[in-house]
Structure 1
Amino acid sequence: MESLLIPILILVLAGAGVLLAYRALGRRGARPRPEAMPQPGRDPVELARAAAAKLTQEQHRRLYALIAQGQAMAAIKLYFEATGEGLRASRDAVGALAAHPQPFRAPEAPQQAASDDDDAPQRFPYRYRAIASKGDVTREVSSNMLNDEIYGRIRTLAKSGDTEAAATALTRHSDISMKQAREFIALLDD
């Protein structure tokens, strides 16, 4: 009997050791990883809104196309390249965008106060052509500092009789001389 007692004790101790090791590994696997834990103050909806605001309309469309196709890695790569954020931040942002879809919103331009004639002229990405004619005489002013609103104010000044203010405003918003501006305004004032 004593000859069986020692192997049985060894078997029981080995089984207890295996059981303890299994429980220890089970607890380690059940514990959440630090990067997977939700960060306090990081609302996923707010994260999705902030992430969507960093994308252009084309990037936004392509990112959601990749999410819809189930290509999460490609979506993370696209977001990473578009924003320059880290991989973990890109992964979190794409996850938030997938869980809480956001419509594209164009960035809001800062609102400027209504411009007066005293303001420095703004350059536009297009050339505006203003044409005035009376009889056989035709004058044209072409400038990228004019638009419908500014030209409308110049015409209003001219029609109200304040031709000097209209000519001054025209020279401020174009590259013509005061003499040329007066000739142009004379054709407007009916």
Structure 2
Amino acid sequence: MESLIVPVLILALVGAGVLLAVRALGRRRAPSRPDAPPQPDAPPQPVRDPVRLARSAAARLNQEQHRRLYALIAQGQAMAAIKLYLEATGDGLRASRDAVGALAAHPQPFRPVAPEQAPGDDEDDAPQRFAYRYRAIASKGDVTREVSSNMLNDEIYGRIRTLARSGDAEAAAMALTRHSEISLKQAREFIALLDD
């Protein structure tokens, strides 16, 4: 009888090992079955339309944040733009990265939540945002300046150049500042290259 105890114990251990292996394989294969419920730690990620994402991302920014974000995108400072969006909205890093990517790929004009128009305001004075960025370049000798803005077009830039060439450099600089994201000092430097 003693000679049978050792083989029975070995057989019992092998049987227990086979059962544990079958259970482990069953758990591994369970999520791959089509009728298996999704794992709670891996929720399905919604596929988002980048144009919709850009619209909703732009709607979450105020005018100053929107202007600064597009200025950073235009300057090629993607990390700074993502940081700005993250701080402005409180979204996570990945959501901010996706939103800035969508805003860069599909530029959105700033749309205020409620239009704020005072009764005496002239609509012609308010700069219009276009769907494209206009590049204006001025140079004199070795000095070259560039202004890139989605509030400029050929007509507006023509009026600014006419003001500069007629001797009203200050009015031209003010107009350029109103229709771009540059400072008055930068606008004056740009206009100084035009007044020949």
Bin of the TM-score, shorter chain as denominator length: 0.3 to 0.5
